[in-house]
Amino acid sequence: MESQFKKNILITGGAGFIGSHVVRLMVTRYPHYRIVNLDKLTYAGNLANLHDVQEKPNYRFVKADICDPDEVRRVFEEYRIDSVIHLAAESHVDRSITDPLSFARTNVMGTLNLLEAARRTWQPATPHLFYHVSTDEVYGALPFGDALFTEETRYDPHSPYSASKAASDHFVRAYHDTYGLPVVLSNCSNNYGPYQFPEKLIPLFINNIRHNKPLPVYGKGENVRDWLYVEDHARAIDLIFHRGRTGETYNIGGFNEWKNIDLIRVMIKTVDRLLGRKEGESEKLITFVTDRAGHDLRYAIDSTKLKNELGWEPSLQFEERIEKTVRWYLDHQEWLDNVTSGDYQRYYQKMYGN
């Protein structure tokens, strides 16, 4: 019965923002793969993000912590996992500043734990892949005018978040070099789109503009981020998973740099227009606040390698995509209220008992 599946893929963090898009893509595009979504359902994990795939015959959900070695090993054995796409992480820079230890635990120890399970259960002769999903933040901050981050850029993380991701990247490469574990990595720029937890810039600000709440702009709003639509990222992960060269790293980015304050003005214009307000009316909500500690000035990714080797390119319709994203959050107020109220956490506590 179980052998009907051509691959048994463990996706970690599949109930989160990017993970849910990756799970949806893999479950629907590859009905002959079994997709096992392992997620702890922290505040950032939400099974409602996957309401449309939860009944598919090739989808399974396991509530577990990647830091629990026995549980991870059990899942590898029970589902005969042959590949991993590892996205589970603590992902918010501001939280990493107040609680760095949780980031070290999940992002470093959790990754090591998965690597160990792969090393201990996979037989060398059969095909396997451990795909580690990482961030451009490991490269540190770029001064204005400097060339984009390439795969050769030296690691220089500044926040506890990026330091923990950098450490996990190094461990993944070490398992490749030391034990011959087949791995591939990708480092991606800032994602936006539906189902992002509203503590990150774009969903937080859309929601605040709607409710006439202040928009806390760190520093002078001059920091630059390279924004990529989340489905473009999921498409890149699919390609790299299938065709990426073992042992390699691929940068994924949008070639789409925005100064925070300019992006915020686009969001204000779009929300005001869609809500029938006078355009720009919500500019008054902009509130400059104390800068984030160690705030990286600029991230920008060169994804030429991915384009040249695998033919991937970002979709370059930023204005359309951001409007689509704004519409999605405006149309899903219930989703926003639910994830911010803590109701869904209480529900999971009742369902899963921890």
- The residues assigned a catalytic role are 136-137, 161
Residues in the chain: 354
For residue 277, give the DSSP letter: P
Give min distance, CB of 38 to ligand TYD, in A: 24
The one-letter amino acid code at 7 reads K
Give min distance, CB of 153 to ligand TYD, in A: 17
Residue 13, binding choice from ligand NAD, ligand TYD, none, Cβ under 5 to 8 Å by partner class = ligand NAD
Contact between 217 and ligand TYD (CB under 6 A)? yes
| β-bridge mates for residue 59, sequence order | 35
Stretch that binds ligand TYD, among 9-17, 18-26, 73-81, 200-208 (CB under 6 A): 200-208
Q: Which of 39, 257, 296, 302 contacts ligand NAD by CB under 6 A?
A: 39
222 touches 263 (CB < 8 A):
no
Burial bucket for residue 331 (CB in 10 Å: 0-12, 13-18, 19+): exposed
Contact between 87 and ligand NAD (CB under 6 A)? yes
Residue 218, binding choice from ligand TYD, ligand NAD, none, Cβ under 5 to 8 Å by partner class = ligand TYD
Please enumerate in sequence order all residues whose Cβ is within 8 A of that of 51, keeping only pairs 6 or more positions apart, or say none.
none
Give min distance, CB of 83 to ligand TYD, in A: 27
Q: Is 174 helix (H, G, I), strand (E, B) or coil?
A: helix
Give min distance, CB of 277 to ligand NAD, in A: 28
Task: Centre a 10 Å sphere on the Cβ of residue 224 and count the other Cβ atoms it contains.
Answer: 18
Q: Which of 11, 26, 36, 42 contacts ligand NAD by CB under 6 A?
A: 42
Stretch that binds ligand TYD, among 23-31, 63-71, 218-226, 341-349 (CB under 6 A): 218-226
Joined together, the tokens standing for residue 44 give: 């950032």
Contact between 69 and ligand TYD (CB under 6 A)? no
277 touches 79 (CB < 8 A):
no
Joined together, the tokens standing for residue 151 give: 């795969």
Residue 186, binding choice from ligand NAD, ligand TYD, none, Cβ under 5 to 8 Å by partner class = none
Binding to ligand TYD by CB under 6 A, coded x per residue (else -) over 292-321, reads x-----------------------------
Task: Centre a 10 Å sphere on the Cβ of residue 124 and count the other Cβ atoms it contains.
Answer: 9
Rounded to whole angstroms, the Cα distance separating 66 from 88 reads: 8
Phi-psi map region of 38: left, alpha, beta (phi>0 left; psi -120 to 50 alpha): beta
Rounded to whole angstroms, the Cα distance separating 325 from 188 reads: 19
Contact between 20 and ligand TYD (CB under 6 A)? no
Provide the binding-site residues for ligand NAD, judged by CB under 6 A: 12-13, 15-19, 39-42, 44-45, 65-67, 87-91, 106, 110, 133, 135, 165, 188, 190-191, 197
Provide the binding-site residues for ligand TYD, judged by CB under 6 A: 93, 190, 200-201, 204, 216-218, 223, 225, 260, 292
